[in-house]
Chains A and B, each alone.
Chain A
Amino acid sequence: EAGVVQSPRYKIIEKKQPVAFWCNPISGHNTLYWYLQNLGQGPELLIRYENEEAVDDSQLPKDRFSAERLKGVDSTLKIQPAELGDSAVYLCASSLAGALYNEQFFGPGTRLTVL
């Protein structure tokens, strides 16, 4: 079974440029998460989807970050414009909705460097 797929794995951009990350969750997983991980720290939740609905986006900086999951399967996270402080790893995870123990499966992440 394929795991969570993310692309690209690495991205280098200049500040003020836009950037997008793509995630394909494990087949059948209704819940999808985007996390941000700064160097030396644990992942921090940005947004959580149940199917196509964003049910928790309280930590998403909405002035420059946006996300979508139009058909309730794969998802895109966008930053526009990127700032130097956005340099981090962006992780996508998925899980079965309604599962009590809610094991989250993570992708390898996209490492973003903003110059």
Chain B
Amino acid sequence: GQQLNQSPQSMFIQEGEDVSMNCTSSSIFNTWLWYKQDPGEGPVLLIALYKAGELTSNGRLTAQFGITRKDSFLNISASIPSDVGIYFCAGRTNAGGTSYGKLTFGQGTILTVHP
């Protein structure tokens, strides 16, 4: 089946530093999503990308949908302690029909922020 390769697997950074993580795939996706998961909770949507080349921001977060439609990255600027968690990328191959919402997830990036 389809696979997303997410990197890095983990990051240990100091508060105030910028963070970058990315996902790559051998398959084309029509939608890229970025989720954050706090301990003991379900994933929460951070950013959704629907067009190749699209660059979208949500506060200190910026994500881009790669031109080839096979990759996406997420940047977090000026990290703070509450950014700690697991970040997942997810891709969807089509946006219609009965398969809407079927997502392929990356393995996750565990982010630790030291005060």
A and B physically associate: no
**Interface of B with A (CB < 8 Å)?**
none
A: residues with CB less than 8 A from B are none
